[in-house]
Structures are given as C-alpha cells and as structure tokens.
A and B are shown apart, each in its own frame.
Chain A
C-alpha cells in the first residue's frame, strides 16, 4: 500500500533520477561485493548496497550485529579504495548531471 502518494507522474521519474540514474557497478577489489556507485564530484560518493553485497563484505560482516552497537556506522575502507580505483581507471565518471 503506497502511503506518501505523489499526485504527478513526473515525481516518479524524479525519484528514479535521484535514486538510480548514473549509478555504475563497482566490484570490490578485495571481496565478492558488487555495489552501485556514483560520484557527482571528487568528495561526493553515493553507494547502493544490496543484501548479497553486504553478505560478501568481510568488513561489514565483522560488525557486531546487536542493535545496541554503533559498529554498523563504519563503512568498508576496502570498498572505498575500490571506488577510488574505479575512478582512476576511468570506470566511474566524476561529475553531476542536473543536480543528480
């Protein structure tokens, strides 16, 4: 059941643009995790994981799973390094479209 219902069809297209446009597959160089990533500028990074990728990442797997842990707040440094490498190799373009 939808809840916050847009009244314009254009809104659905905008949701798509902001959440998935220009996301590029990036494979971790150290594990089997494959995520979708985007870089609008040098210091910007957007990373979309899925359940398989999280399960494959040993770094995230080491997190303390209990709900009272702030452990999950860390990212995976190896994935970030892999994203940097993808940029260097020209596989992940840096730059934004019209705000997305």
Chain B
C-alpha cells in the first residue's frame, strides 16, 4: 500500500531511508486529563480551558464542586466561558440559558419550558493531589475511577512545598512527541545534559514507567547538568496524559525528594497544552527562606528541562518509522502501549496492555559520552589559558 509516487525513486538511491510522517489521529485519547490546580477554578467565575479541539468551561458551584462542560452553548453557540455563574449554573452571555454541571439545561428565563434535548457535553471530574482531573472518551463511556492517578500522601501537607504550577502551549506537534520521552535514553545526554547511567522501562495496563539514574554533565550548564548532583528518577504515566515523577536528588550528599507532575491536554490534532507542577519535600532543620530557595532552584531546573524538550518538539517532524540503534529505548513498544488510548475500548489488543520490560544497555554510550565531555573540558581549559 505504498502511497509514495513511484517516480520519487528516480531521485533517490534505493537504499535511501524515507521518513514516514504518517497521519495523526483525529480522535483524542481516552482517559483522565488534568486541567490544572483545583484552587485556580474556585473563585465563582467561569474559566476557559482549551482542550479536545474545543473550549471547555470550568466553574465551581455553591457546594464547592467543580463542573466542566463544553464551552459553547447548545442554543446558538454562545461562549459560556464569557458567561456568569448564577447559583449552581453557568449562564450563557447570549440569551441567559442556564446549564448545570450534569450537562442539562436547567432554566431558560424567558421560556415556558426547556427543550428535552437540551443536553450538552459534560466531563466527569475528580480531584487528585489538589488537581482537577476530567475523563475524556470519544465513545462516551462512564469515567473509570479505578484508573485515576494515585494520591500522593505527603504532598499538600506541611512536609512538602505547595505545588509550583506552570502552563505552556505547544503548537505544531502531537502530544505523542511528549510521550516518546519515556523511552528515550540518549536525549537525556544531548537535550538535558545528563549522563543516564541506568535506564529501564515497564509498560503494563494503563501505566508506562521509566526508571533512570543520571549524573549531570560538567561541560554544560542549565537543565539537569550539574556534575555534583545525581538523580534517581521513577516516572509513571497513569493513562495517556498524566505522569508522576518521583525524583531523589543527591547534591553533594544532601538528598532531596522532589515530585514532578507532567501532564497535558490535547488542544488540536497538532497542539497541546503542557502543564507541570513541582513539590519539594522540605528538608528538616532549615528555615522557611532556605526551603523556599531550594524549592525555587528545583522548579527552575526541571522547568528548564521541559523547555529544552519543547524546543525540539516545536521544530521536529512526526515519524512513524523511527530508526533505532542498539542504545535506544523501546519506542515502538511504548507507542503500541499508547495506541490503546486511541482505540475503541472493545478493540484494545492484549499486546497494547501486556506487561513489557526493557533495560537499555548504557555502558558503551556512557564510555563515548565521558570521552566527549573530557575533550570538551580540555578544549575549554585550553581556550581559557590562552585568554588569560
């Protein structure tokens, strides 16, 4: 079923490899998606969130519950995010139709009765770790609460700093680019400036995990590059769009536990909104100012890390047929896992969810990288001695 124009071969040697850019799905993933910190929506006003090819409206009702509906009124398409919260309902700015969190129109102030068919798209919600989650399913299934991401017991207590939460819109790439990172060992050296010394993956059911240990590169600055710190990282995607990353950072013997949330909402077929949050275990015996300072440093360095990825994503092309070498992680198996969220529930194949384990052999890669870094440091030293 090759769709390539045959005459292309005239211009390419037959062994020239082509990038198969494929076609991106028109549907959005089934599963829990995080819209942000619940507290940001708790002010009695409607909030707009772009997601799933539309705009969503989020508001808090009088019972303190957060509600999420499609942002466009089923009457004449008014923008509910510019409406008003009246009682428990969101009122449309166009003709004041009132919509409830269950998706039903509750009242039309100027009408004798509400049409029976006045139901709009609603999203079931959950609050996890102080964040608002919504269930998306193009097939319209009821939310599966058994596969919500886990609650982190100590976060949001005084043992950890409050979430430092950040949002970044990404245009020109499908969110699968972000997922690919789970299996990408080598980019940690080139993009994030760290030596990944140990790298493993486990994919099973709705979860995909990366285990990594790394040390910073002494020849770089920014990102994860700090030769005096080593990192133990365990990162699990719970469903298609919400990752918890448990990080243990050892900085010159001073050990800090950091929790990083990395989540996203697809906004269109080739765009998504990345959100990340950082919470740091407060080291004991330090004053508040020092704790805040440490938390800020980590927020900055992991935030930098994301921006390093963003730059790559915004400039690369999609590839359906990545060409891998022996030192690469299991990109194909990861994508097979990810495919389950884009497949009708009845058609999910066992191989998409069956347990799969992979350990990358990082020995050779680290040999080459250490040699390169040593060379870079020698070059730098030579340049510095000339300029003095």
Contacts and interface: CB of A to CB of B under 8 A. Distances in A.
Interface of A: 1, 3-11, 14-15, 18-19, 40-51, 53-54, 60, 67-70, 72-73, 75, 96, 99-100
Interface residues of B, number: 59
Contacts of B238: 67
Contacts of B246: 70
Given A4-B25, A5-B23, A72-B207, 11 more contacts: A3-B27, A8-B20, A11-B22, A14-B321, A19-B332, A41-B326, A47-B357, A50-B354, A54-B354, A72-B204, A99-B323
B324 A4 contact: no
21 contacts: A3-B343, A4-B23, A4-B335, A4-B342, A7-B20, A8-B20, A9-B2, A11-B320, A18-B331, A42-B361, A44-B361, A45-B358, A45-B359, A46-B359, A47-B357, A54-B355, A72-B202, A73-B211, A73-B236, A75-B202, A96-B326
Contacts of B241: none
Given A19-B332, A50-B350, A96-B326, A7 B359 contact: no
Interface string B340-369: 001110010011001111111111100000
Contacts of A73: 202, 209, 211, 234, 236
Interface stretch (B145-153, B220-228, B380-388): B145-153
A12 to B, nearest CB: 9
B335 A67 contact: no
Contact of B359 (A6, A9, A43, A50): A43
Contacts of B350: 50-51
Interface string B181-222: 000000000000000000000101001010100000000000
Nearest to A42: B361
Nearest to A37: B357
B234 A70 contact: yes
Nearest to B325: A99
A51 B350 CA distance: 8
B84 interface: no
A49 B330 CA distance: 15
A44 B326 contact: yes
B40 interface: no
A32 to B, nearest CB: 16
B145 to A, nearest CB: 9
Interface in B146-185: 146-151, 176
A45 to B, nearest CB: 5
B167 to A, nearest CB: 26
Contacts of A48: 354, 356
Contacts of B24: 4
Contacts of B150: 67-69
B185 to A, nearest CB: 11
Contacts of A9: 1-2
Interface string B314-332: 0000001101111010111
B2 A8 contact: yes
Given A7-B23, A50-B354, A99-B325, A68 B151 contact: yes
Interface string B112-126: 000000000000000
B23 A1 contact: no
B4 interface: yes
A8 B3 contact: yes
Most buried by A among B149, B202, B321, B323: B321
Contacts of A43: 359, 361-363
B248 interface: no
B320 A7 contact: yes
A97 B351 CA distance: 23
